[in-house]
Amino acid sequence: MRALPVVAALIAALFAASPSLAAPISVPVSKFTLKNGMTVVLSEDHSVPRVHVGLRFGVGSSRETPGRTGFAHLFEHLMFEGSAHVPEGKFDQWLEAAGGENNAYTSEDVTFYYEEVPSNAVELPLFLDSDRLGFFVEKLVPDLVDGQRDIVKNERRQSIENRPFGDIELLLPPTLWPKGHPYSWSVIGSMEDLSAASIDDVKSFYGTWYAPGNATLVVVGDFTSADMRKKIEHWYSDVPGRGAVEKPKPAPAALAGEKRLVIEDAQAPFGLLQVVWPTVELYHPDDANLDLLAAVLGGGAGARLTKRLVHELKIAQQVEVHQGSMERAGSFNVMVLANPGGDLTAIAKVVDEELAKLKAGGVTPAELERARAGIESSMADALDSLGEKAQRLAQYTAAWGQPDGFERDLKRYRVATPQSVTDVAKRWLGKGRVVVSALPPGQTSLAVRSPIGGGK
């Protein structure tokens, strides 16, 4: 299922302690640019006889415009519906017949397509991806667009409107971000915008963003780089370039004070408190420290908020804390799933108490080391997965121009100190925030009521 990733799903983020990755990480990579402007990254990994092919486009919902939202996600669906030399329905069928698999996702900043196949079948995804990049626009006929538009609308109903706490994904962005900000609408877009999209609108979006100069092709797995380069140059040689695409610039935002959202959710079994602060973009100097702060507060059973709310006071079932870093800005999120009938005001007061304690007393060295071990464990897992490695190589290439950024990425966490983590809490987790109370029908009296502070 090519479903939109659910940003607000309450998933426990458990950081397992692991040995430190003390030795420098060096991933074998080569990078080159095709004549049409597409960036290519190759990384040999002969651990299994498979190859993972990832194609990253620098386009997500943040590249849309008000009144024309949902196009990035709509295109994720359209791109599987055939191209000039691939009949409709054959994309999946041919890959499955070769023992492969494929999928895609759309975020605020990126649309990422991938296939993984046995190494002796790697030319199939190269052909399929090159064909839909270079020879797709003729497939954009009204009937095809209308059919996929209806599928996206139905996905919105199923994955957001009829899912517990799904309404948060629709209502939080325009509350957290200023009007017109590139993150102020949901990734899946509005029903009205999807209905209003014309075939010319769709073709224009494709022509602008689905250009080789806005794409990074990453191939990881069992191959030799020289041979793979020849294959890629062969299949992409007739895909025309359409010029470079400007990289997005940071778009920081701030809230003057606290905003409240109270959502009566017919799908919600229990109450959910979500507290969100606008913060920094991915790879900002404070980004890694905010990741570590999130782990100190909510990363596992011994984390401060989990320990206090779930194990000591027993007023919550689950806690998740994360720094949501995107290309232009970010948000720091505290999500707490209450026990049945739980008062969200009481939970919010505990959240603020723990934040105040942390700001006043600081993060301990033991807490920092535990959080850092979780980050290194996650990095080790990524190195063991062809798909995870491909996505990270693509991200590093887009951000830094160099694909082998694992060591540079880890260094951001290794240089952190208890003071630097404490400082970002003081700097970013202040009064400018959104407090969301999502509750079952008839229970809005349990929403956050009185002012609960938030610190300086």
- Return the pLDDT at 106: 96
Q: pTM, whole model, 2 decimals?
A: 0.91
What are the residue ranges in the chain where pLDDT is below 70?
1-23, 450-456
Interatomic CA distance for residues 293 and 309, integer angstroms: 17
Secondary structure of residue 225 in the 3-state scheme: helix
Kindly state the tokens that stand for 216: 């990074």
Strands 272-279 and 330-338: antiparallel
188 to 89, 130, 150, 308, 379: CA distances (angstroms): 24, 26, 13, 36, 29
- Return the pLDDT at 22: 59
Which DSSP letter does residue 327 get?
S
Please name the residue that has the structure tokens 């999807």.
Answer: 194
Q: Looking at domain 34-236, which CATH architecture does it have?
A: 2-Layer Sandwich (3.30)
Residues in the chain: 456
- Return the pLDDT at 332: 98
Interatomic CA distance for residues 230 and 242, integer angstroms: 22
251 to 32, 72, 395, 431: CA distances (angstroms): 30, 20, 19, 20
Burial class (CB in 10 A: 0-12, 13-18, 19+), 311: exposed
| Other CB atoms within 10 Å distance of the CB of residue 427 | 14
- Return the pLDDT at 153: 84
Secondary structure of residue 275 in the 3-state scheme: strand
Residues 219-237: tens digit of each pLDDT: 999 999 999 999 999 999 9
**Whether the domain at 34-236 and the domain at 258-446 fall into the same CATH topology:** yes
- Return the pLDDT at 21: 56
- Return the pLDDT at 9: 34
Secondary structure of residue 287 in the 3-state scheme: helix
Interatomic CA distance for residues 434 and 427, integer angstroms: 16
Which DSSP letter does residue 254 get?
-
Residue spans of the domains in the chain: they are 34-236, 258-446
- Return the pLDDT at 16: 34
Q: Looking at domain 258-446, which CATH architecture does it have?
A: 2-Layer Sandwich (3.30)
Interatomic CA distance for residues 44 and 390, integer angstroms: 11
